[in-house]
Amino acid sequence: PTRPGVFYTIKMDGTMDVWDLYYKHNEPTLTVQVSDSSLTTFAAHESGGIVAVGTADGSVNILQMSAGLSEMALNEKAAINNMFDRETAREKNLEKAIKEAKVKARKEAARKDELIDNVTPEQLQAIEEDFMKQTALDGADANGATENGHAENGGA
């Protein structure tokens, strides 16, 4: 084929799709019902103007492509190459971002495991006692009782 942006796909339902990436990316430019049988083989003439499609029942269909699908547009080759280069770079960037996200998630999970695993019950008890001592009011113990055994009401 002479058009770098034209691709063909054949399907089990007997249809052939023609994709012209120079003009359209989201859907085939042309869909042709070639046969009622499954399409199994495909070959294009080097000029791109004629394609042969083989079916599961052994028949071969010869199709003439229009000039729009077989003759290269001005700057088409450069445009298609640029599109593939952009898509290749985008794919690499997506793979890199996914890999970085996985590494970050593993590090965060390891850090959480490390924090959980490194605190012993004795250390937790000591931390709680220290906290209670620091938050006690004016000589009150952890239950709020003063040195004479009475609870203070905060001056009310």
First to last CA, the chain: 94
15-31 residue pLDDT tens: 999 999 888 889 999 99
Residue % of the chain over a pLDDT of 90: 45
Q: Residue 68's pLDDT band (boundaries 50, 70, 90)?
A: confident
Average pLDDT for 72-82: 89
Average pLDDT for 62-68: 91
**pLDDT of 156 higher than 50:** no
Whole-model pTM?
0.57
Q: Lowest-confidence range among 106-110, 130-134, 142-146? A: 142-146
Contacts with 64 (C-beta within 8 Å, 6 or more apart), sequence order = 49, 50
111 compared with 106, residue with greater pLDDT: 106
**What pLDDT is stored for residue 73 in this prediction?**
83
119-130 residue pLDDT tens: 678 888 888 888
- In our burial notation (b when 16+ CB lie closer than 10 A, e otherwise), range 53-83 reads bbbeeeeeeeeebeeebbebeeebeeebeee
Tell me the two tokens of residue 33.
């019902």
